[in-house]
Amino acid sequence: MPPLYFFQSLSSIYHETFKFFTQELAVDLGTANTLIIQNDKVVVDEPSIVAINRQTNEVIAVGNRAMQMHEKTHDNIKTVRPLKDGVIADFQAAEALIQGLINMIGEKRRFFTHLKMVICIPSGITEVEKRAVFDSADHVDSKETYLIHEPMAAALGIGLDVEEPIGHMVIDIGGGTTEIAVIALSGIVTDQSIRIAGDEFTNDIIDYMKRKHNILIGERTAEQIKIHAGAAMAEIQDAPPKYAVNGRDLLTGIPKQVFTSHGEVAEALDKSIAKIEEAILKALEDTPPELSSDIFKTGLYLTGGGALLRGLDVRISLKTKLNVIIADDPLRAVVRGTGMALKNSHKFSFLIDRKSI
């Protein structure tokens, strides 16, 4: 009988070899952006968009390259955003996006590589939609797939200890959805998900520019206005300068330029932000009192791209009379948390596998 250390070294060789052939990816498949973490590094951070040849259905580009074509296509090419309101609306395009982004990582996949993925999903997703995400993962050849709810991933990525018996409220304002959740003891205690977030803000700006300045602008221009001149209220510190907007005159059809300000953007976004505030108040109302008492002390954590809107933290703080903390690098908190879940998949009970749905 060989000595024990023989078996131990055999097992360690097996594990090292297996690790070598394992590709482990944490994926934040978002309505606006998809991010992938591999070996603790963000290796992909691209807009969730695919350009497709209408005639052949062939995928021409994904991510940034496809975004450059967006709203500038001709009859032969269409651009598709596979996710809407946080969930996959076009499965074929979603799979093309995931596959295209995985290919970007550049690492050659051997046919026997064991692909393991943790994918984050909105908390309001149905069982059918969950199954569809598993199917998409199967189609890109994932051999081991787990799902994690977005607010849980956000909380982990913010650096909160989600396992302790202390309540934390996380507000993730993404492109498609705003998710508001109270997290304690590794679970989501209360949760509000509304389909008002960055995309809605962008539409509000397009509508406002039409009404106020008689100018027609595209999604990309509206998004730039939001980023460069956006604000949640008119009275903010460090107001950005006026912003030049180019578009098409609604009356004459001729290209024209107008200037907008953060005050105008705040006016354009006011109704949508009020709806987010309402959802936050509703989530606070649904929170069990002992956890409310924790939240009074810990405050509200803001994350997702929407957290970067100037003055949003102050506006929510004035409304709720609670302390509001903006997460570090809010666009990446969810993928950071998904990465942590990937590393701890053996221990986190809140991860969802195919058997549990």
Ligand X SMILES: Nc1ncnc2c1ncn2[C@@H]1O[C@H](COP(=O)(O)OP(=O)(O)OP(=O)(O)O)[C@@H](O)[C@H]1O
Residues 35-94 that bind ligand X (CB under 6 A): 86
Closer residue to ligand X in complex, CB, 123/294:
123
- Residue 24 interacts with, from Mg ion, ligand X, none (CB under 5-8 Å by kind): none
CB of 223 to ligand X, least distance (A): 5
Question: Is 331 one of the binding residues for ligand X (CB under 6 A)?
Answer: yes
CB of 40 to ligand X, least distance (A): 20
Site for ligand X (CB under 6 A): which residue of 123, 142, 145, 177? 177
Question: Is 198 one of the binding residues for ligand X (CB under 6 A)?
Answer: yes
Determine the interface stretch with ligand X among 93-101, 151-159, 172-180, 212-220 (rule: CB under 6 A).
Answer: 172-180
Closer residue to ligand X in complex, CB, 157/304:
304
Q: Is 346 exposed, middle or buried (0-12, 13-18, 19+ CB in 10 A)?
A: exposed
Torsion of CA 102, 103, 107, 113, to 10 degrees: 70
Give the gyration radius of the chain's Cα atoms. 22
Question: Is 124 one of the binding residues for ligand X (CB under 6 A)?
Answer: no
Q: CA-to-CA distance for 172 and 131, rounded, in angstroms?
A: 24
Cβ 87 vs Cβ 125: under 8 Å: yes
How many residues touch Mg ion under the rule CB under 5 A: the total is: 2
3-state secondary structure 49-60: CEEEECCCCCEE
- Residue 33 interacts with, from Mg ion, ligand X, none (CB under 5-8 Å by kind): ligand X
How many residues touch ligand X under the rule CB under 6 A: the total is: 22
Strand order in the sheet with 243-249: 215-216, 243-249, 255-260
Site for ligand X (CB under 6 A): which residue of 227, 234, 239, 326? 227
Question: Is 167 one of the binding residues for Mg ion (CB under 5 A)?
Answer: no
CB of 174 to ligand X, least distance (A): 2
Closer residue to Mg ion in complex, CB, 30/47:
30
Question: Is 324 one of the binding residues for ligand X (CB under 6 A)?
Answer: no
Q: CA-to-CA distance for 287 and 192, rounded, in angstroms?
A: 11
* Nearest to 223, CA basis, from 206, 248, 247, 243: 206
Site for ligand X (CB under 6 A): which residue of 124, 175, 247, 339? 175
Q: CA-to-CA distance for 58 and 66, rounded, in angstroms?
A: 13
Site for ligand X (CB under 6 A): which residue of 97, 166, 197, 351? 197
Site for Mg ion (CB under 5 A): which residue of 29, 30, 225, 232? 30
Cβ 337 vs Cβ 153: under 8 Å: yes
CB of 33 to ligand X, least distance (A): 4
Question: Is 272 one of the binding residues for ligand X (CB under 6 A)?
Answer: no
Question: Is 174 one of the binding residues for Mg ion (CB under 5 A)?
Answer: yes
Residues lying near ligand X in the complex (CB under 6 A) are found at 30-33, 86, 174-177, 197-199, 223, 226-227, 230, 304-306, 308-309, 331
